[in-house]
Amino acid sequence: MAAAHSLSLGLDSQNNQENGNFPSESGIEKVYEKKYREILPTLPIGKGWMTEHIVQYQGFWLIPDLFLKPLWWIHDEFKVQPTDIFLASAPKTGTTWLKALMFATINRTRYDFSSSTSTHPLLNSNPHECVPFLDTYPLQTQETFSGLDSLPSPRLLATHFPFSLLPDSMVSSTSGCKFVYICRDPKDVLISNLVFFDKLRPQELGHLSLQEAFELFCQGISNFGPYWDHVLEYWKWSLQNPEKILFFKYEELKKEPLVVVKRLAKFLGQPFSFEEERNGVVQEIIKLCSFRNLSNLEVNNTKTYKFTKDVVANNNLYFRKGETGDSSNHLSHEMMEHIDKIFQDKLSGSGLSFGA
Ligand code: PAP
């Protein structure tokens, strides 16, 4: 996979600097420029899904100019608070849905969400507005991490970074903070990734075909992939630290949302009271965060969600079908079997499996 590297592959951070992708006052572009230029040429290159190329950094595939400097910055500058709650996930596994559910659950006494005059943020904002991504925060907001200090406690933050790339300050058992991880059947993850990133892929790069995406995915080359390693690392961590990380599948949430949301609230230290359950609060939260409700939001334009500095995501981008098993409408029987086989092998002996 490794290939002759060139800084003229659209990965040139000089462009970012000129585009002002990083907060100028932080000096991040200067602080990490030397390191970036030294490390970049040493990294294996693979075909990108949204960009021309992605690089393999410490075992995982990342879009370098979007994620390398921010990763280093997180390590050096991000100050964890013991009450922080992190949503961790690989892309297209249910992050948006879980962001909404966690935000609604944690803030259920703060915002009224059932009356017709409700001003609940989830009624006019994309869930990505309500729960920021740590990974892209500096790029999206042009702010330093101190901007996150104004979030009410507990802060809800999200990351697509794999477990092994996170700083000790976040994952150490003494840090106090908690993690919730969601994963999803790899076949559906592949299709959801392909459709999503194809929409963000610059026209001049042409489309990524289903066959290409399938082959890349099976080689582990996807954003924040290999997907199996992303899942396995968090899975193993959850077995060792069940009080620190709650691990579940998108499919479980689809099948039994009531059970999962109650488990979530309990894990986050805010279990639903008997009265709340009797009054249907859990059902209200599930309804507020349903695919139907979130995908039909009249998102407040003044708070349009930025995917990166240049890409302003519209609300619909994050809602396609929201079903389990849709990949069978796209993948051949052989492709599905092949992916199932890879994941059976990779997850073998771990106690985790995806329904084949
Ligand atoms: P992200 O990594 O860009 O944040 P993420 O939210 O993890 O994406 O995944 C998007 C998937 O979740 C989409 O799946 P699909 O492509 O198979 O349709 C999206 O439709 C689905 N999704 C988003 N919101 C919901 C929801 N409320 N209920 C069920 N599925 C949802």
* pLDDT reported for residue 126: 86
* pLDDT reported for residue 295: 87
d(CA 103, CA 230): 24
Do 250 and 256 meet the contact criterion of CB atoms below 8 Å apart? no
Amino acid at 197: F
For residue 337, give both structure tokens.
């079997």
140 CB neighbour count, 10 Å cutoff: 18
User: Where do the H-state alpha helices sit in 224-319?
Assistant: 227-240, 250-255, 257-267, 274-278, 281-288, 291-295
User: Residue 290: CB within 6 Å of ligand 1?
Assistant: yes
Catalogue the E-assigned strands of 78-141: 85-89
Tell me how far the alpha carbon of residue 53 lies from the centroid of ligand 1, in angstroms. 24
Tell me how far the alpha carbon of residue 188 lies from the centroid of ligand 1, in angstroms. 10
d(CA 341, CA 58): 25
Strands 85-89 and 178-183: parallel
In angstroms, the Cα distances linking 31 to 24, 25, 34, 165 are 11, 11, 7, 20
User: Residue 127: CB within 6 Å of ligand 1?
Assistant: no
For residue 52, give both structure tokens.
């021309």
The 8-class DSSP code of residue 158 comes to E
Of 67, 92, 297, the one to substitute when testing ligand 1's pocket (max ligand atoms within 8 A of C-beta) is 92
Q: Up-side HSE of residue 130: CA atoms within 13 Å toward CB?
A: 28
For residue 98, give both structure tokens.
């879980």
Which ligand 1 atom is nearest residue 196's CA? 16
The 8-class DSSP code of residue 306 comes to B
Of 247, 86, 229, give the one whose Cα is nearest residue 182: 247
Q: Which residues face 158 on adjacent strands?
A: 87, 133
Splitting the chain (356 residues) into consecutive groups of 10 residues, what average pLDDT does each group show?
31 38 55 91 96 96 92 92 97 97 95 78 87 84 81 95 97 92 98 94 93 98 98 98 97 98 97 96 95 79 54 75 96 98 97 86
> For the structural domain made of 48-346, what CATH number should be given?
3.40.50.300
* pLDDT reported for residue 332: 98
Peptide bond into 138 cis (omega under 30): no
Do 223 and 54 meet the contact criterion of CB atoms below 8 Å apart? yes
* pLDDT reported for residue 6: 29
Question: Measuring from atom 8 of ligand 1, which residue has the nearest CA?
Answer: 92
- Collapse the DSSP code of 23 into the 3-class scheme (helix H, G, I; strand E, B; otherwise coil) and give the result: coil
In degrees and rounded to multiples of 5, residue 52 shows phi and psi of -60, -40
Of 355, 307, 348, 346, give the one whose Cα is nearest residue 327: 355
Tell me how far the alpha carbon of residue 317 lies from the centroid of ligand 1, in angstroms. 9
Question: Measuring from atom 14 of ligand 1, which residue has the nearest CA?
Answer: 322
User: Residue 294: CB within 6 Å of ligand 1?
Assistant: yes
* pLDDT reported for residue 113: 73
Strands 60-62 and 53-57: antiparallel
Which ligand 1 atom is nearest residue 182's CA? 7
User: Residue 251: CB within 6 Å of ligand 1?
Assistant: no
Tell me how far the alpha carbon of residue 91 lies from the centroid of ligand 1, in angstroms. 9
Q: Known catalytic residues? A: 160
Do 272 and 282 meet the contact criterion of CB atoms below 8 Å apart? yes
Do 186 and 218 meet the contact criterion of CB atoms below 8 Å apart? no
Tell me how far the alpha carbon of residue 250 lies from the centroid of ligand 1, in angstroms. 9
For residue 127, give both structure tokens.
């869930």
Question: Measuring from atom 29 of ligand 1, which residue has the nearest CA?
Answer: 322
* pLDDT reported for residue 112: 80
d(CA 302, CA 124): 10
- CA 309 to centroid of chain Cα atoms: 17
